[in-house]
Amino acid sequence: MNGPDTFRQKRERMLSILAWFRLSRFYHQSIRRSNQHLKKWNMTVAQFDVLVQVGSNVRISQQDLADQLLVTKGNMTQLLSKMEQLGWIQREREWKIKYITLTDAGRELLDEVLPVQEQFQADQFGKLTIEEKKQLTALLKKIQS
């Protein structure tokens, strides 16, 4: 029989909500900061993510890219169209599958931006010790699975 929550259950639920709230705030704050940082290259976080994913493959299908980035097909199409206009990627169709590759300009841009953006992201965790970073990574992995 399920009775009213105990004090301990209520406290645990509140701590879970607080953890979610803090994680969500950090994520949104990080995205805002990253978008501001990437403005130097007239790029958004979403465009950067596409460059990284496509750049780490010889070529990738549009569907696989959408799956990896957790975005809808419609959003992916719009994002890729803009990036194609900018000359960063090219799309090729083979039968029913669209493949994405970086252009030379896209590769140059990625090579320039990637190390700077990686350092920018790493700096957001600068207040944590190595051990704390390991703990945070392990905890996030645990709740993600």
Architecture of domain 8-144: Orthogonal Bundle (1.10)
Which 3-state string (H, E, C) describes the chain?
CCCCCCHHHHHHHHHHHHHHHHHHHHHHHHHHHHHHHHHHHCCCHHHHHHHHHHHCCCCEEHHHHHHHHCCCHHHHHHHHHHHHHCCCEEEEEECCEEEEEECHHHHHHHHHHHHHHHHHHHHCCCCCCHHHHHHHHHHHHHHHC
pLDDT band at 76 (very low <50, low <70, confident <90, very high): confident
Share of the chain above pLDDT 90, in %: 73
pLDDT at 136 over 90: yes
Tokens, residue 39: 């403005």
Distance CA 30, CA 11 (A): 28
pLDDT band at 144 (very low <50, low <70, confident <90, very high): confident
What is the reported pTM? 0.82
Q: What are the pLDDT digits (tens) for 41-73? A: 999 999 999 999 999 988 899 888 988 888 877
- b/e burial code for range 100-112 (CB count within 10 A of at least 16 → b): bbbeeebeebbee
pLDDT at 1 over 60: no
